[in-house]
A and B are shown apart, each in its own frame.
Chain A
C-alpha cells in the first residue's frame, strides 16, 4: 500500500456558499487509479463525496475532471504517476452541481445544435457501399466518447458562452466527412462565428483528449474546406 493525499475541491449547494478544499489520506495498492481513490474516500471516509462513474475502463466518458491542474479521466489516471499529493477539481467551464459533478447542459445543447445525426434517403435493402479509403476519412472523428475534457480545457469555451466547443465541432466534421450524409445544411451548422471560426487554435483539446483525437485539426480541416470553396 502507498499513501496519497487527495485534495478535493468540494461544494455542497445545500450547505456551502463557496467551494473549499478538503484533504483525505488515501492508502492505495499498486496499479490503482484516481477513481479507485475517490471510491476509497466515498466508502471509507466520507460517503457524501459525489462524482460520476460508470465503465471504469476509459470508454464511457463519465469521470472527466481536473487532476493536478490538467484535465483527465479519473478511471484511467494511474495514481503512481501523480506524486503523493493529488489535487482534484471539477471539470472547468461548467456549473458545479455538487463536488465533482458538473452540469453538462451547455455541453449537450451545443452537441445537439450541430444536428449530430446522419440524414440519408437511402432505401436500399443492402448497406451503402463505402470503400475502405472512404471509411478511413472517419478515423479520428468517430472515436469521441463525449467526456468533456476538451470542453473544460478550451479557453474559448470559457470566454465565449456561445462557442459550440471542440466536442461539437469534431462531431460536425465527422458528418461533413461522411459521404453517406445527405443533409443539405450540414456545413452551416458548424461553419459560423460561434462555430469553427470561434476556434483560436490553442490545441488544448488535442492535448487532453483521452482518445488521442484532435478537434483542433478537424476544425482546421473544415475551415480550409470552406475557404477553398470561396476562392
Chain B
C-alpha cells in the first residue's frame, strides 16, 4: 500500500453506513478509497439499526404537508437547541436526495399502497416521516451500500481491509499523513500513507454496562482523532433508549411505539400520562424524556423487580406485528422467551447513542488538515443534546457523502509526505503494541473494563449529580493509571483478542474521562444531560458546545458557540 501513490487516495476507518457511503463518494470522484475495518463491514453496528430513517418525503397520508424545514425545526427542538442549526438544515435537506439515491441503488424499503417509500411516526416528529424497511432498516441500508461498494471494488476503486485494527492517526503540526494499523490475523503493523483520512468508527456505547450497542462500539475510534489533536465535542450527551430488552439490553425499536405500542407499569397503566413533559405526546415523546420518566416510574416502585416496565404490543394484532415489526418479535422470542403477540415485552432504558464525538464543522473537517470525521464518531452537531430516533441513519448517509466528497477533493490537491514523521509514528506505535503485548503487570484488563463500565453506568447515567460525577472522574483517572500495570498472557500473533481489547480499553478510558469532564462542568439540564442539582436549562451560561482537547498527555476543557441562525431557543414540551 505504501507505494500506491499513483491515484489520489482516501483512508476510511470504519465500514459501517458512514464509512461505506464515504467510500462510494470518493470512488465516484475518481479517488481510491481504502476502507479499514476491525470487523467485516457487514458486521458493523449500523446493521442493527431497526426503526427507520427520517426524511421529509411526504409519502404518508398524514404527512403530505411535511417539509425539510419542519424536519429541521423538529430536530432542533428535539436536541434542546444545542444543535448547530445550519448543519441540521443541511442534513434534513440533503437527506431527501440521499434516500432517493439509496432507493435507486436497491434498498428494499417498505412501501405505501401507491408504491412510494413507506413512512411511520417516530418520537418528536410533527409528521410521520420515518422511512423504513420493516424493522430492519439498518440491515437494508448497510447491505445496499456494501453491494454498491462491491461494484466499485470490481472496478478497482475501493479496497477493503477487513480485520485490520487502526491504532493511530499520523498527524503532526495539524497536518494528517495517514494511519498506523495492524492486521488482526497476523499482527503485522503497517503505516498507511494518505493525505486524507476519514474517521467513521461509530459510537462509544460499551463504556456503559447496559448498552444496546454492539460489543465492538468502544469509542476507541473517537480516541484516534482525540489523541492526534482533534478535540472531542459535547461528550456528556449520551442517549438512553427507553426500550431495551430487560436482561440483555438488546434494542426494541422506537418503531414499536410508532406503530402504536404502549408503555405500561405494573398496574397496567400508561404511566407517561402522569408526567407533564410527556403527558400529551405519550409514547411519541422524545427518548430522553421517556427514558427519564420510565426510571422515575420504576423508582416509585411501579415497575417490576425494581428494574423494568412493559411494552405492550398485543392490541396491534399478530398481522401488523408480523408485517411491521418481525425483527422485534424474533428478538423477543429468542432473547426473552416472550412472543409480543401474546405477552408484553419487559423493557428498561439502556445506553444507546453518543451524541458527542470528534469536533467537526459542517464540512466534516477537524482542526487537523486532511483529517475528517462523520457519523456517530463525529459531532457536527446535528443532534444537539438529544437525538431524535431516525436521525442517526440520516446523518450517516448525508455526512458520509460529504466527508467522502471533501476528503477526495483534498486528496486530489498537492501531495505532501513527511517520511520522517511517518517513520517516527510507525516505530512509536509498533513499540506501544509490543509493550502492551509483553506487559506482565498484576492487573487484568477485565477488572478495569468492569470498573469503567460500572462507574460510567452508575455515576454518569440518566440522572447526574456533582458528587457522583466527581467520584466518577476520580475513578476513571485511577483506572487510566492502573492501565499501566496490566498484564497479558496471550502472546500469539493471530486473532489475539486479549491484545485487541487492551488496545480498545486505552481509547475507552480516555474518552470516558472527557465525557465526565463535560458532564461535571455543564451545570444545567439539557436534553439527555440531566443534573439533579441543576434541573433547569440555562441558556445564558450553557448554550454552547463543550470541547475537550488532549494536549501533552492531559485533557483541557473549553467551549464553542452554537449556530442559532434558524430559530430561537424556546421551552421544550411535548
Chain A residues in contact with chain B, CB under 8 A? 12-14, 31, 42-44, 47-62, 76, 97-99, 101, 104, 108, 112, 115-120, 122, 124-132, 134-135, 138, 142-143, 145-146, 175, 178, 180-181, 211
Query: A102 to chain B: closest CB distance in Å?
Result: 11
Stretch at the interface among B1-9, B101-109, B462-470: B101-109
**Pairwise interchain contact A135-B108, C-beta atoms closer than 8 A:** yes
Contact with A along B468-511 (1 / 0, CB 8 A): 00000000000000000000111011111110000000000000
* Sample of 28 A–B contacts (CB below 8 Å): A12-B492, A13-B494, A47-B490, A48-B496, A49-B497, A50-B495, A53-B215, A54-B39, A57-B48, A57-B331, A59-B47, A59-B48, A60-B47, A76-B335, A98-B494, A115-B151, A117-B148, A125-B100, A127-B104, A127-B109, A127-B117, A129-B115, A132-B115, A145-B47, A145-B139, A146-B42, A180-B104, A211-B330
Query: A49 to chain B: closest CB distance in Å?
Result: 8
Residues of A within 8 A of B151 (CB): 115, 117, 119
Residues of B within 8 A of A134 (CB): 111, 115
Residues of A within 8 A of B112 (CB): 132
Stretch at the interface among B246-254, B268-276, B361-369: B246-254
**Pairwise interchain contact B250-A57, C-beta atoms closer than 8 A:** yes
Residues of A within 8 A of B148 (CB): 117
Residues of A within 8 A of B489 (CB): 47-48
Residues of B within 8 A of A175 (CB): 106
Q: Is B140 an interface residue (CB 8 A)?
A: yes
4 tightest Cβ-Cβ pairs between the two chains A and B: A118-B106, A50-B495, A129-B115, A117-B147
Asked whether A60 and B214 contact (CB < 8 A) given A50-B496, A54-B39, A116-B147, the answer is yes
Residues of B within 8 A of A59 (CB): 47-48, 136, 139, 327
**Pairwise interchain contact B106-A180, C-beta atoms closer than 8 A:** yes
Residues of A within 8 A of B347 (CB): none
Contact with A along B201-243 (1 / 0, CB 8 A): 0000000000000111000000000000000000000000000
**Pairwise interchain contact B106-A181, C-beta atoms closer than 8 A:** yes
Residues of A within 8 A of B104 (CB): 120, 122, 124, 127-128, 180
Asked whether A56 and B495 contact (CB < 8 A) given A116-B150, A118-B106, A128-B103, the answer is no
**Pairwise interchain contact B47-A55, C-beta atoms closer than 8 A:** yes
Identity of the chain A residue whose Cβ is nearest the Cβ of B147 in the assembled complex? A117
Residues of B within 8 A of A49 (CB): 497
Asked whether A138 and B103 contact (CB < 8 A) given A118-B147, A129-B114, A129-B115, the answer is no
Residues of B within 8 A of A117 (CB): 105-106, 147-148, 150-151
Q: By CB atoms of chain B within 10 A, which of A52, A104, A115, A118 has the most?
A: A118
Chain B residues in contact with chain A, CB under 8 A? 39-40, 42-45, 47-48, 57, 97, 99-100, 103-106, 108-117, 133, 136, 139-140, 143-144, 147-148, 150-151, 153-154, 185, 214-216, 247-248, 250-251, 327, 330-331, 334-335, 444, 446, 488-490, 492-498
Identity of the chain B residue whose Cβ is nearest the Cβ of A126 in the assembled complex? B100
Identity of the chain A residue whose Cβ is nearest the Cβ of B250 in the assembled complex? A57
Residues of A within 8 A of B44 (CB): 54, 60
Identity of the chain B residue whose Cβ is nearest the Cβ of A36 in the assembled complex? B248
A180 to B104, CA, bound (A): 8
Residues of B within 8 A of A131 (CB): 111, 115
Identity of the chain A residue whose Cβ is nearest the Cβ of B113 in the assembled complex? A132
Residues of A within 8 A of B215 (CB): 53-56
Residues of A within 8 A of B139 (CB): 59, 143, 145
Residues of B within 8 A of A135 (CB): 108-111
A126 to B114, CA, bound (A): 13
| 20 more CB-based (< 8 A) A-B contacts, given A60-B39, A117-B105 | A14-B494, A48-B490, A48-B498, A54-B44, A54-B45, A55-B45, A55-B214, A56-B250, A57-B250, A61-B42, A62-B39, A99-B495, A117-B150, A127-B100, A130-B115, A135-B110, A138-B108, A142-B133, A180-B106, A181-B106
Asked whether A98 and B495 contact (CB < 8 A) given A56-B248, A59-B47, the answer is yes
Q: Number of A-B pairs whose CB atoms are under 8 Å?
A: 164
A61 to B154, CA, bound (A): 24
Query: A51 to chain B: closest CB distance in Å?
Result: 8
Residues of B within 8 A of A146 (CB): 42
A134 to B112, CA, bound (A): 12
Query: A176 to chain B: closest CB distance in Å?
Result: 13
Query: A204 to chain B: closest CB distance in Å?
Result: 21
Residues of B within 8 A of A120 (CB): 104-106
Q: By CB atoms of chain B within 10 A, which of A50, A60, A97, A126 has the most?
A: A60
**Pairwise interchain contact A31-B247, C-beta atoms closer than 8 A:** yes
**Pairwise interchain contact A132-B111, C-beta atoms closer than 8 A:** yes
Which residue of A54, A76, A104, A116 is within 8 Å of B334 (Cβ)?
A76
**Pairwise interchain contact A61-B43, C-beta atoms closer than 8 A:** yes
**Pairwise interchain contact A42-B497, C-beta atoms closer than 8 A:** yes
A116 to B335, CA, bound (A): 31
**Pairwise interchain contact A14-B493, C-beta atoms closer than 8 A:** yes
**Pairwise interchain contact B150-A50, C-beta atoms closer than 8 A:** no
Residues of A within 8 A of B39 (CB): 52, 54, 60, 62
A26 to B40, CA, bound (A): 29
A56 to B331, CA, bound (A): 11
Q: By CB atoms of chain A within 10 A, which of B147, B151, B250, B446 has the most?
A: B147
Query: A61 to chain B: closest CB distance in Å?
Result: 7
Residues of B within 8 A of A47 (CB): 488-490, 497-498
Query: A148 to chain B: closest CB distance in Å?
Result: 11
A193 to B498, CA, bound (A): 44
Query: A172 to chain B: closest CB distance in Å?
Result: 12
**Pairwise interchain contact B492-A130, C-beta atoms closer than 8 A:** no
Residues of A within 8 A of B330 (CB): 58, 211
Residues of A within 8 A of B106 (CB): 117-118, 120, 175, 178, 180-181
Residues of B within 8 A of A51 (CB): 497
**Pairwise interchain contact A50-B335, C-beta atoms closer than 8 A:** no
**Pairwise interchain contact A43-B103, C-beta atoms closer than 8 A:** no
Identity of the chain A residue whose Cβ is nearest the Cβ of B112 in the assembled complex? A132
**Pairwise interchain contact A57-B150, C-beta atoms closer than 8 A:** no
Asked whether A54 and B216 contact (CB < 8 A) given A48-B492, A76-B335, the answer is yes
Residues of A within 8 A of B250 (CB): 56-57
